[in-house]
Amino acid sequence: MDVASLLARRRMTRSFDGTPVEVPWLVRVCEAALLAPTAGHSAGVALGVVGHDRVGEYLEVATDAAWRERSTRYEGWARAGGLVLVSTRVSAYLERYGEPDKVASGLAERDAWPVPYWHGDAAMATMALLLLVEEAGLAAGLWGAFRNVEAVRRWAGLGEDELFATVFVGRPDGRDRPSASLARPVPSRAERVRRVP
């Protein structure tokens, strides 16, 4: 399948059927996803694989009881076949951009970065992962790092790494409800592509 078709077909999935994803397969897919570009060959993105048997444990750490009770998506997430924690090691970028061939950039300090490359690299690896999962006939959904982040970092043993996102992976159960965000009026793709004079 070509990349354009994968992009057109891919959708965020938040309801899975409970079929476990084989951890060795998920490890291989993550290794392939890390072929995504990395600024200065810093290699500061890491992907942590969590098997089906620990998805519930992850959700216990990443959420609270009140959220689990009111969420319409919790049960669907809990049936994921596995998940991947996407993290970045900022120090890898600061060290790399402090090396002789990069030091002139002035980016050896965190506050010097107008656009932190570690976020871009994490996003590229995440997109590669989403496409590889789609290519394999499975589905994936992105969970942003905005809730209980420090608790998840401790649970996963991320050390100094910063959590970027979690990708849930598995077989869709056909009961996923489209996000309400899709009903928002937005400019078309054609309107968002423009020629620069």
- Per residue in 48-80, pLDDT (tens digit) is 999 999 999 999 999 999 999 999 999 999 999
Is 83 a member of any domain?
yes
Is 166 a member of any domain?
yes
Is 152 a member of any domain?
yes
Task: Provide mean pLDDT across the span 166-184.
Answer: 90
Domain assignment of residue 136, given as a range: 3-192
Are the beta carbons of 118 and 45 closer than 8 angstroms?
yes
- Whether the per-residue pLDDT at 1 is higher than 80: the answer is no
Q: CATH no. for residue 60?
A: 3.40.109.10
Is 49 a member of any domain?
yes
The pTM score is 0.94
Are the beta carbons of 113 and 107 closer than 8 angstroms?
yes
Share above pLDDT 90 across residues of the chain, in percent, rounded to a whole number: 86
Is 150 a member of any domain?
yes
Summarised one tens digit per residue, pLDDT across range 78-127 is: 999 999 999 999 999 999 999 999 999 999 999 999 999 999 999 999 99
For 137, counting Cβ atoms within 10 Å of its Cβ (0-12 exposed, 13-18 middle, 19+ buried), the class is: exposed
* Integer angstrom CA distances of residue 130 from 29, 167, 187: 10, 8, 24
Is 37 a member of any domain?
yes
Q: Pick the residue with more confidence: 6 or 84? A: 84
- Structurally, how many domains does the chain consist of? 1
Is 80 a member of any domain?
yes
Residue located via tokens 């009140």: 66
Is 197 a member of any domain?
no
